[in-house]
Amino acid sequence: MATSWGAAFFMLVASCVCSTVFHRDQQTWFEGIFLSSMCPVNVSASILYGIMFDAGSTGTRIHVYTFVQKIPGQLPVLEGEIFDSVKPGLSAFVDQPKQGAETVQGLLEVAKDSIPRSHWKKTPVVLKATAGLRLLPEQKAQALLFEVQEIFKKSPFLVPNDSVSIMDGSYEGVLAWITVNFLTGQLHGHSQETVGTLDLGGASTQITFLPQLQKTLEQTPRDYLTSFEMFNSTYKLYTHSYLGFGLKAARLATLGALATEGIDAHTFRSACLPRYLEAEWIFGGVKYQYGGNQEGEVGFEPCYAEVLRVVQGKLHQPDEIHRSSFYAFSYYYDRAVDTDMIDYEKGGVLKVEDFERKAREVCDNLENYTSGSPFLCMDLSYITALLKDGFGFADNTILKKTWRMWTPTNTRQTKVSCHK
């Protein structure tokens, strides 16, 4: 989930350059993720570089950031970014860890071409894996990370001891929240009028916001709350990552593939797919055979019943989201663009019910609707169910696309302002 990595490195460099940014007498949000050894060797330099690998469930992405410190002692400014990616993700190499690490080696060449040789030794390189590796057995996930660490050690870049690890889902939510609220100016002053974030990845989904009501804090499970200090302010966030509720993991759950043994000899069928479709799909290194209901019902109503079983009663629904504003990232935006609900560059205004309307249009015309993905009906229906029946957003919740973070990457985002 690439939306948060720019913030991660920005906060890292900020802590190196300006020691007054964070209270160092207590643990901050990035303890255990970013170490002091990752700071550039010459923090007084006017130009700083950072290399961040986002190892997601569907691919591995590299972000090469350039920061400029225009005034000594003040926070550096993100000047630019180089982005590249490879597919599939590391989790697809669950039984070939060395082969998986080779995909990272290829992306390191992008960093070498993007950063002056004179800066290589003082440029930190980090890989944080997300839900794709969290879903793997620990021993196999660690084997993948070990091989990546070996690749990093052979590189000319600065490699801290904890440069390769699996990121906890709650950190993903926190990083995305910091990114949005810092870039929109919400964190520059003492005001805590912030916006929430919704991130829909391939294997997991996150929701994060800053509660304003004591009732929310009292009624929220303790492990959904996290506190940290930043810019001399304390923030107590509501944040939770739902592993297995990302868009692609939800496809498997909808198909019933997660509860079936002997998948090699089984074809998973759904009312969300074209009736005569017969295809195969690889996710997490596993091949699945799937197709439409050749004799049963197809269309929106039976499809929605399938995806509803995936989310109904499974997610916590904080009442306060009805009076909050949210930004939604990743597949929320992608599917809206894919179906021409919003323009990729200009954006547009949507409501949650618009996802349902488009889902009905696609699902009830499966044989006539052409798309690059046969899962489009299922994806739109799942997003609708996730927002409405999962998190509890109202039909008339407004979604407005605003801007894309960290141009020129393919990171995209949508603003969600909640109004009854």
| Nearby residues of 77 by Cβ (< 8 Å), 6 or more positions away | 67, 68, 69, 70
Give a yes or no: residue 38 inside a domain: no
**Does the annotation list 414 as a binding residue?**
no
Domain count for the chain: 2
Pairing between strand 325-330 and 196-200? parallel
Q: Examine the domain organization and report whether 158 and 213 are in the same domain.
A: no
Token pair recorded at residue 365: 């015309």
Structure-token pair, residue 61: 């992405």
CATH number, position 128? 3.30.420.40
For 262: left if phi > 0, alpha if psi spans -120 to 50, otherwise beta; the answer is left
In a domain, 9, yes or no: no
- Structural domain of residue 107, as residue ranges? 44-167
User: What per-residue confidence (pLDDT) applies to 377?
Assistant: 96
DSSP state, residue 389: I
Q: Mark whether 198 and 71 lie in a shared domain.
A: no
The annotation status of 105 as a binding-site residue, yes or no, is: no
**CB 2, CB 54: distance < 8 Å:** yes
Half-sphere exposure of 332 (CA within 13 A, CB side): 31
Burial class (CB in 10 A: 0-12, 13-18, 19+), 373: exposed
- Residues 350, 268 share a domain: yes
Q: Does 35 fall in a domain?
A: no
CATH number at residue 266: 3.30.420.150
Residue 176: inside a domain, yes or no? yes
Are both 124 and 173 inside the same structural domain? Answer: no
Whether residue 146 sits in one domain with residue 210 = no
Q: Which residues contact 39 (CB under 8 A, 6 or more apart)?
A: 12, 13, 15, 16, 124
pLDDT of residue 412: 34
State how far the Cα of 125 lies from the Cα of 104, in Å rounded to an integer.
Answer: 11
Q: d(Cα 102, Cα 34) in Å, to the nearest integer?
A: 24
Do 149 and 184 share a domain, yes or no?
no
Residue 414 lies in a domain: no
The catalytic site residues sit at 172
Predicted local confidence at residue 406, as pLDDT: 37
pLDDT at 158: 94
If asked whether residues 286 and 213 sit together in one domain, one would say yes
Output DSSP code: residue 210. -
Residue 330 marked as a ligand binder:
no
- 205 annotated as ligand-binding: yes
Q: Which distant-in-sequence residues (6+ apart) come within 8 Å of 268 by Cβ?
A: 255, 256, 257, 260, 288, 289, 290, 291
Q: Which residues 6+ apart lie within 8 Å of 35 measured at CB?
A: 160, 161, 162
Q: Which of 144, 167, 190 is the last residue of a domain?
A: 167
Q: Are residues 175 and 149 in the same domain?
A: no
Q: What is the pTM of this model?
A: 0.79
Quick one: tokens of 283?
Answer: 């996710």
Tell me what percent of the chain is helix, strand and coil, each rounded to the nearest 5.
Answer: 40, 25, 40
Please return the burial class of 419, using the count of CB atoms within 10 Å of its CB with bins 0-12, 13-18 and 19+: exposed
| CA 97 from centre of chain | 23
Same domain for 84 and 191, yes or no, is no
**Listed residues 150, 167, 184: the one ending a domain:** 167
Predicted local distance difference test score (pLDDT) of residue 400: 55
Considering 139, 167, 195, which residue would you say is the last residue of a domain?
Answer: 167
204 annotated as belonging to a binding site for a ligand: yes
| DSSP β-bridge partners for residue 134 | none
- pLDDT score of 75: 64
Contacts of 284-290 with C-beta under 8 Å, sequence gap 24+, read: 284/57, 284/91, 284/92, 284/94, 284/132, 284/135, 284/136, 284/203, 285/88, 285/91, 285/92, 285/93, 285/94, 285/95, 288/252, 288/255, 288/257, 288/263, 289/263, 290/255, 290/257
Strands 286-292 and 267-270: parallel
Mean pLDDT by 10 residues, the chain (420 residues): 46 39 32 37 67 89 87 73 90 93 95 95 92 88 95 94 85 85 70 82 93 94 89 87 95 90 83 92 86 91 98 95 85 89 77 94 84 89 97 83 38 39
Question: Do 151 and 174 share a structural domain?
Answer: no
Specify if 277 maps to a domain: yes
Write down the pLDDT at residue 188.
64
Same domain, 160 and 248: no
Q: Does 199 lie in the same domain as 117?
A: no
Residue 112 included in any domain: yes
